[in-house]
């Protein structure tokens, strides 16, 4: 892996290249296709669940009043849709270092 603290698209493609024997270009195309499919599903209002990894869940946030931290002036924050990630229990166990079979 090239990066030290961040997993990148190139890192994922490199892993696919090594483990599956696809060319670098094919591996990168596969990563891009998966990410594009996920983005399209979220854009269409669908949640994305990857078993054993976690779920990308859409949440609609209502309008609310926020405060500018420098000036203290109240500012309306517009309603918006956000994506949150919820790790699966398996992922939580792996990150915590628990033995997973």
Domain map of the chain by residue range?
Answer: 1-43, 47-101
| pLDDT for 1 | 44
The mean pLDDT of 1-8, rounded to a whole number, is: 72
| pLDDT for 39 | 96
Exposed/middle/buried for residue 16 (C-beta within 10 Å: 0-12, 13-18, 19+):
buried
CATH of 47-101, one of 3.30.365.10, 4.10.520.10, 1.10.760.10, 2.60.40.1930: 4.10.520.10
pTM greater than 0.85:
no
pLDDT at 100 over 80: no
Exposed/middle/buried for residue 27 (C-beta within 10 Å: 0-12, 13-18, 19+):
buried
pLDDT (tens digit per residue) in 32-89: 999 999 999 999 999 999 999 999 999 999 999 999 999 999 999 999 999 999 999 9
Q: Residue 89 corresponds to which tokens in the numbers above? A: 């229990």
| pLDDT for 62 | 96
Band (pLDDT 50/70/90 cuts) for residue 99 is low
SS (H, E, C) 43-94: HCCCCEEECCCEEEEEEEECCEEEECCCCCCEEEECCEEEEEEEECHHHHHH
């Amino acid at each position: 892996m090239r990066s030290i603290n961040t997993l990148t698209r190139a890192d994922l493609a490199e892993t696919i290249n090594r483990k599956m024997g696809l060319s670098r270009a094919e591996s990168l195309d596969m990563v891009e296709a998966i990410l594009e499919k996920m983005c399209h599903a979220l854009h269409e209002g669908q949640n994305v669940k990857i078993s054993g990894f976690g779920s990308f869940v859409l949440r609609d946030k209502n309008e609310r009043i926020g405060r500018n931290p420098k000036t203290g002036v109240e500012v309306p924050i517009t309603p918006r849709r956000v994506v949150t990630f919820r790790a699966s229990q398996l992922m939580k166990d792996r990150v915590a270092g628990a033995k997973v079979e």
